[in-house]
Amino acid sequence: MAAAPAIEQPIHEKLARVWATPRGVRGTLSSVDHKTIGIRYLITAIAFLVIGGIEALVIRSQLAVSGEHLVSAGTYNMMFSMHGVTMIFLYAAPVLSGFSNYLWPLMLGARDMAYPRLNALSYWTYLVSGVFLYTSVPLGAMPNAGWFDYVPFAARAFNPGLNIDFYALTLLLLAVSTTVGSINFITTLFKTRAPGMSVNRLPIIVWGTLTASIANVFALPALSAAAVMLFLDRRYGTRFYDASAGGHPLLWQHLFWMFGHPWVYVVVLPAMGIVSDALPTFCRRPLVGYTLVALATVATAMIGFGVWLHHMFATGIPPLALAFFGGASIVITIPSAVAVFAWLATLWDGRPWFPAPMKFMLGFIALFVIGGVSGVMTAAVPFDWQLTDTYFVVAHLHYVLVGINVFPVIAGVYYWFPKFTGRMMNERLGTWNFWMMFIGANLVFFPMHIVGLMGMPRRIYTYPGGLGWDVYNAIETVGAFVFAIGVLLFVANVMWSRGRGNLAGSNPWDAPTLEWSTPSPPPAYNFATIPLIGSRHPLWEDRLQEGSAKSVLHRGPVLVDAGRETFATSPLDAEPSAIMRMPDDTYLPLILAVCLGVVAYGLLFSLLWLAAAGAIGVAISAIAWLWPSDATARLGVADTEFGELPLGASGRHSVGWWGVIGVIATEGAFFAYLLFSYFYLASMSVNPWPDRAPGFWLPLVNTLILVASSVAMFWAERGARADRTTRLRWGVGLAVALGLLFLVLQGVEYSREALSPTKTAYGSLFYTITGFHGAHVFVGLIMLVVVLVRALRGHFAAGRHEAVSNAAAYWHFVDAVWLAVFTSLYITPHLR
Amino acid sequence: MATHVTAQPAHPAPARVRVGLSALWFGLYGGPLAWTVQTLVNLPVAAHGCFPRLEPLSSPTIGGLRAVVVGVSIVALAVCVAATAVAFRSWARTREEHQSSAGSARAHAPANALAETGEGRTRFMALAGLLTSATFLVVSLVHLASIFLVSPCAIGR
């Protein structure tokens, strides 16, 4: 570690002035500080944990004894559905986003996330989605088909209220929040690390959140596609899931679990990262097998994409297809076991001590092993057939989610609370907190294995006596209340310690990672000088001697000349490549999130004018967001100790490019899932598919037009790089004209097409896929028009054409998607 | 720009010139991609071959179903083996990488610190690739084995 700080007070004051968030309502609503957003995420998610917990207590009270009628069957359905949706979507993943939002820049040596405004948008949209979902409570229309919401029960014919519409729209709002958050994490990791923090020096929680974020980018679109199709089926009469019209209920299950199983790893991998980073601190030695654990984290998620079918073992799929997924589901235990053995070896080889966070981590390991073992059992197809839809599965999933998410989260709060607040949490209360939660969790969830094996199905709201289930259910209910008392003790400890806990200092646990080098709580600018990293344990370098390089923590570059600045660095080795100007606080994320909520309410209540107003608000906010400020438009270079660095960047050096690539990846996945749906239904259809092929020649002409527009945009972007402004303007103008012509001709095609979107699943898919593509063309055109206006105003130059490159990348993507759509929808029907 | 004068740490990947990035990426992602293709091709073949539309069958409709899924699996296995070999070569070329070779500052990085601390970015990626490829080689082999252990369309046939 470097020598004592030597930075002058005026620099601290200037940084504080530049990075400070205004006080009062203005600051509350406009802050883009990652620490503020992180704490908001944590508080909101834990509030949802409490709400979901209350729903669980209602469920357990209903099941405490046989023949109970505390609530009706309908209310029970809504209770367990809301419990699942709340815990899975509104608590488990967002709480981890809270940790990562707060900690990432501090761990990575940056002053904020790569996209601070997107960070705020992610939180506000999450909050809006939670409020939206709970609007269903006063209306008595809570989701009632479970958290995985299987059709046909979720179809309108069997579930005509607003319940499922709340579910579908909530998930779409959450998808926006989670996707922008994930893209932000990915870009932050690859572009804003402190110089010297190469990828082999990352804390494991960073690996966990990075892996989860990449999984989100590719998995969430499956859920979005499924939710869109469900909403269209329910409200506009499409037939995606209607077997009588060429649709299929299993399509929902495939799409849901293509999302759902990676999501399991989304809600556990960052939590495992919390343990991998915090446990070594309490063992007073580095994590055993860092490389193996980092890799195991990534490998788990990779295999996690290929095991979705194990949720569908009982749906009649042929044995060999099941065997592929059963095998992969067993092998996935290998990387998970690597992490467990690494923790155990760290404990074995270290000098452990056991304050409250350590107790929770040890409890986590125990619960993880139990939940993991029951998971391997259900990976065996014949055994799974016996257990499907029994309480055994409920026991397994709760051991996994409570054990691998809730316990590490509580451990993480105890561990980083001193950093959040500057105060320690009460240790005695923490010990009571742990034992109540640990005993409670095992009391409530372990007997579920037994009643499951005895044949008790899940999701029954009551049961007859005399089946031998009573005593186990009674124990489970007692356990649930014991667990709830534990959660209450935790909340009480947080409230008490926040004002009265012992003062913590910057590094009360003597921890090794970078966040502990900052004051507690950290200043708005995080680091007065940007740290230069020489090893994975910057604060333990003197005792570990594990690298030849020394980190420089308090004598690095300051970056204080022109507003909020930080370094952009290279993806692998974190070599400085540019100086980034960070945005100031703004209301735009809040406005945009509220507008998204307005769209959702408009769609829910079939008030199309309201939805349209919200959409216009979204569009205006987005354009205002993207419009460059004078500060971000400035050109030039700065002389730094890393040599001359550009102010801002274009192409792959810019953070904007990474964001666009993230958008392209996730939207590409969305279209891939739509096309999967097309071919899946085609393969399952007993009728000719399609009963009549769509026209060919007009779409072919349209294809050529779109390809030509892509060529024009390519030509224009090359012109921008060469500082040829006239060529840029003409090229973008031509691309816009061709894009508009494409949309006009698509309208002509629609007017001639005899297909109906509501008669067959084929028609539903045809209009949905081409319609979504048309919407993407429209969005791309708006981007091109903004670029054109800016080009006419002379905003671009040879080294300053980020917006042109980004818009071009998006436009090429839209055109490439059309080629896939054209091949699938217009060519393959002629090949049959 | 205001700065404080700093002694910069040595480069975190002094052996980066010994192995190309494409070799490192192939080592990391060759195996997972091969297995992904193996799964995405074999699943519909195995499922549709035995349950084409509404009725499950006792024998596959696709002639040579087993040959198709075995063929795809062998290709996937070959890619996994190639990725493992490339990753091994990358690791062999960079296994001694740690900062003592950076020419800056004292040399006291333990040579066996790779698995423990991950020190040396190039060899970290190479080892990660080696382990990933090996893992997916196992996953792909399990997939292949199931073709010979499980009857494609019906239990016990």
Neighbouring CB atoms inside 10 A of A793's CB total 8
Chain A CB contacts of B116 under 8 Å are 286, 288-291, 546
B17 in A contact zone (CB under 8 Å): no
**Six-digit token pair at A564?**
């909020």
The residues in B 88-127 lying below 8 A from A, measured between CB atoms, are 98-100, 102, 104-110, 113-121, 124-125, 127
Residue A111 to residue A556: CA distance in whole angstroms: 14
Span B73-91, pLDDT tens digits: 999 999 999 999 999 999 9
A685 in B contact zone (CB under 8 Å): yes
The residues in B 34-73 lying below 8 A from A, measured between CB atoms, are 35-36, 39, 42-44, 46-54, 56, 69
Rounded to two decimals, what is the model's pTM?
0.94
Residue A392 to residue A86: CA distance in whole angstroms: 21
Position B108 pLDDT exceeds 50: no
Tell me the average pLDDT of chain A: 92
The Cβ-side half-sphere exposure at A728, using a 13 Å CA radius, reads: 30
Closest CA to A395 of A361, A370, A376, A366: A370
**A231-245, A299-313, A617-631: range with lowest mean pLDDT:** A617-631
A360's CB contacts (< 8 A; 6+ apart) are A407, A408, A410, A411, A414, A434, A437
A383 in B contact zone (CB under 8 Å): no
Tell me the average pLDDT of chain B: 82
Position A510 pLDDT exceeds 70: yes
Q: Quick check: bond before A382 cis, omega within 30?
A: no
Tell me the C-alpha to C-alpha distance, in Å, between residue A100 and each of A205, A487, A791, B86: 8, 22, 38, 34
pLDDT on residue A830: 81
Q: What percent of chain A has pLDDT over 90?
A: 80
8 Å CB contact of A295 and B8: no
Closest CA to B48 of B141, B152, B157: B152
pLDDT band for position A389 (cuts 50, 70, 90): very high
pLDDT on residue B26: 97
Position A324 pLDDT exceeds 60: yes
**Six-digit token pair at A83?**
């419990």
pLDDT on residue A560: 67
pLDDT on residue A392: 97
Residue A579 to residue A191: CA distance in whole angstroms: 11
Residue A474 to residue A485: CA distance in whole angstroms: 17
**Six-digit token pair at A497?**
């310690």
Query: Of all helices (H) and strands (E), which one includes residue A581?
Result: strand A576-581
Q: Region A546-550: what's the mean pLDDT?
A: 69
pLDDT band for position B102 (cuts 50, 70, 90): very low
Position A604 pLDDT exceeds 90: yes
Q: Which amino acid is residue A557, in one-letter code?
A: P
Q: Which stretches of A470-512 are DSSP H helices?
A: 470-500
Position B151 pLDDT exceeds 90: no
The DSSP symbol for A546 reads -
8 Å CB contact of A549 and B48: no
Position B155 pLDDT exceeds 60: no
Position B107 pLDDT exceeds 50: no
**Six-digit token pair at A811?**
């436009």
pLDDT band for position B67 (cuts 50, 70, 90): very high
Span A654-706, pLDDT tens digits: 888 899 999 999 999 999 999 999 999 998 888 788 878 888 899 999 999 99
Span A713-744, pLDDT tens digits: 999 999 998 889 999 999 999 999 999 999 99
Q: Region A237-258: what's the mean pLDDT?
A: 95
A321 in B contact zone (CB under 8 Å): yes
pLDDT band for position B142 (cuts 50, 70, 90): very high
Residue of A nearest to B103 (CA): A548
8 Å CB contact of A294 and B99: no
Position A524 pLDDT exceeds 60: yes
Kindly tell me the burial class for residue A486, based on how many C-beta atoms sit within 10 Å of its own C-beta (0-12, 13-18, 19 or more). buried
Position A550 pLDDT exceeds 90: no
Span A464-474, pLDDT tens digits: 999 999 999 99
The Cβ-side half-sphere exposure at A595, using a 13 Å CA radius, reads: 18
Residue A74 to residue A143: CA distance in whole angstroms: 11
A645's CB contacts (< 8 A; 6+ apart) are A567, A576, A577, A578, A579, A637, A638
Q: Region A603-631: what's the mean pLDDT?
A: 90
Residue of B nearest to A6 (CA): B4
Position A798 pLDDT exceeds 80: no
A334 in B contact zone (CB under 8 Å): yes
Residue A414 to residue A501: CA distance in whole angstroms: 12
Of B4, B113, B138, the CB nearest to A331: B138
Q: Region A765-769: what's the mean pLDDT?
A: 96
Kindly tell me the burial class for residue A446, based on how many C-beta atoms sit within 10 Å of its own C-beta (0-12, 13-18, 19 or more). middle
